[in-house]
């Protein structure tokens, strides 16, 4: 949520920043609502003070005066109820309007319409070259008997998969590798819930941006535990563990001495992949259910730039440890998303497609989510909203894709990255006879 003071002091900046993200807002109208809210708030405060004054004067009034004071109190009560009702309506109107304003991009983020405006800022290793025609990950996965999408389609439908045998070992090797690395860096490991309330999604900034269209609503789950009554606050399946990690400190005041507070979460993630039909329909690059290891940081309001580079460096170190070629891409405004102020993607080289594909991202959302979720920290005598960052350590499925394709051999076997061999228990995955 945007600070109303920033909106009043820099209305054109907020309007332009929203436009850069493809969102049209009427700042003048929002300020008018804010002015009305302020006016009604003062009126309500005055009437409450008058009501309290009259209540005290009743006990001090003479019998002759008491009736007049009581009548005046009744009039004040009616007027106060009217003003409180009007104030409540205007406050809701203002809250709704503010929730529709996207987080402005950082000043170093390039203005651009869509992904064509993104910039590659560095690369690691040259793309993998083979003396043979590389197979795609699904062909490899089926021949190695480690990925099965056909049986998954019978059970769950399209865009689901069974991971089997060494693919399972690879998954838990990646989890253990990332967890060991991040715990040494001071991150607290978390396995979060994968169902979150609808009002939490609003606090995260996905509801107003239309992002909830890509997430699964669990319509039959009634949080009120009454099967005959619709849920007042229905639940959504998380699209990443970040969705449950960030609101963990909702309505809390952290201590500045405890910051940065860093978490690494592991959980399944669920996406409807709305609007992506026909894209990556085969294999496990774009599926409805996948596992992720996600990082979340809470920092002081002026420390997020430093933390952003730190989280990006972790993502790079993890992929460097796998020796997989990648490039780092900085998003332009049009490809940034509603809550993010700056975002980097790490894209791994996929030999069969002869291009880089996104495998991780890392974003700072500044104080955008902390204002919505009321997450503050105490610094001396004052409290401030925390800055929040999130980043992917490993999106398991896509990382396995990158491993299979970059480490494949001409005979159809796949070399296990050296850093994972102790966890997998072998150096090579070979086709089953």
Q: Count of residues for the chain?
A: 433
Orientation angle between helical segments 166-184 and 304-322, nearest 10 degrees: 140
Q: Evaluate the omega torsion of the peptide bond into residue 73 and state whether it is cis, within 30 degrees of 0.
A: no
C-alpha distances out from residue 279 to 31, 122, 204, 312, 412, Å: 42, 27, 27, 27, 26
- Which residues are CB-contacts of 339 (< 8 A; sequence separation ≥ 6)? 102, 103, 204, 205, 206, 209, 363, 365, 368, 369
Rounded to an integer, what distance in angstroms lies between the CA atom of residue 344 and that of residue 309?
Answer: 10
The DSSP call for residue 226 is: -
What is the CA 166 to chain-centroid distance, rounded?
Answer: 31
Cβ atoms of 30 and 94 within 8 Å: the answer is yes
The DSSP call for residue 408 is: B
Rounded to an integer, what distance in angstroms lies between the CA atom of residue 79 and that of residue 102?
Answer: 37
Cβ atoms of 147 and 396 within 8 Å: the answer is no
Other beta carbons less than 10 A from residue 65's beta carbon: 12
Rounded to an integer, what distance in angstroms lies between the CA atom of residue 102 and that of residue 340?
Answer: 8
Burial of 338 (0-12, 13-18, 19+ CB in 10 A): buried
Active-site residue set = 271, 286, 358, 361, 398
CA atoms within 13 A on the CB side of 339: 30
Strands 147-148 and 162-163: antiparallel
- Residue 32 has which token pair? 């008018």
Q: What is the DSSP string of 26-72?
A: -HHHHHHHHHHHHHHHHHHHHHHHHHHHHHHHHHHS-HHHHHHHHHH
Rounded to an integer, what distance in angstroms lies between the CA atom of residue 205 and that of residue 188?
Answer: 25
Closest CA to 219 of 230, 228, 208: 230
């Amino acid at each position: 949520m945007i600070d109303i003071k920033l909106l009043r002091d820099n209305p054109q900046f907020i309007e332009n920043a929203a436009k850069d993200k493809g969102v049209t807002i009427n700042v003048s109208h929002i300020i008018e609502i804010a002015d009305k809210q302020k006016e009604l708030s003062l009126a309500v405060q005055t009437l409450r003070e008058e009501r309290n004054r009259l209540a005290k004067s009743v006990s001090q009034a003479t019998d002759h005066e008491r009736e007049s004071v009581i009548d005046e109190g009744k009039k004040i009560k009616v007027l106060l109820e009217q003003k409180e009702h009007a104030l409540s309506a205007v406050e809701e109107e203002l809250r709704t309007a503010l929730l529709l304003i996207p987080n402005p991009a950082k000043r170093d983020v390039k203005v651009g319409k869509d992904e064509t405006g993104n910039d590659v800022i560095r690369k690691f290793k040259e793309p993998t070259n083979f003396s043979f025609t590389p197979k795609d990950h699904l062909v490899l996965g089926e021949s190695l008997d480690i990925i099965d999408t056909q049986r998954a389609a019978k059970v769950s439908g399209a865009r689901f998969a069974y991971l089997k045998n060494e693919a399972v070992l690879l998954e838990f090797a990646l989890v253990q590798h990332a967890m060991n690395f991040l715990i040494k860096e001071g991150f607290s490991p978390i396995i979060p819930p994968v169902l979150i309330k609808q009002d939490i999604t609003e606090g995260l900034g996905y509801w107003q941006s239309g992002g909830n269209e890509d997430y699964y609503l669990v319509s039959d789950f009634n949080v009120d535990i009454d099967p005959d009554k619709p849920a007042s606050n229905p639940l959504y399946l998380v699209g990443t563990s970040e969705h449950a990690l960030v609101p963990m400190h909702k309505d809390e005041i952290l201590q500045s001495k405890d910051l940065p507070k860093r978490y690494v979460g592991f959980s399944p993630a669920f996406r409807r992949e709305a609007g992506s039909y026909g894209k990556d329909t085969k294999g496990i690059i774009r599926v409805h259910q996948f596992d992720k290891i996600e990082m979340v940081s809470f920092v002081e309001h002026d420390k997020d730039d430093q933390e952003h580079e730190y989280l990006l460096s972790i993502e790079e170190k993890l992929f460097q440890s796998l020796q997989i070629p990648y490039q780092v891409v900085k998003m332009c405004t049009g490809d940034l998303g509603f809550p993010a102020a700056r975002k980097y993607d790490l894209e791994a080289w996929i030999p069969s497609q002869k291009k880089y594909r996104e495998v991780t991202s890392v974003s700072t959302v500044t104080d955008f989510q902390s204002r919505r979720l009321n997450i503050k920290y105490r610094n001396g005598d004052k409290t401030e909203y925390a800055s929040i960052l999130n980043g992917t350590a490993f999106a398991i499925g896509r990382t396995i894709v990158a491993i299979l394709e970059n480490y494949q051999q001409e005979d159809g076997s796949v070399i296990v990255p050296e850093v994972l061999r102790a966890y997998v228990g072998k150096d090579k995955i070979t086709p089953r006879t």
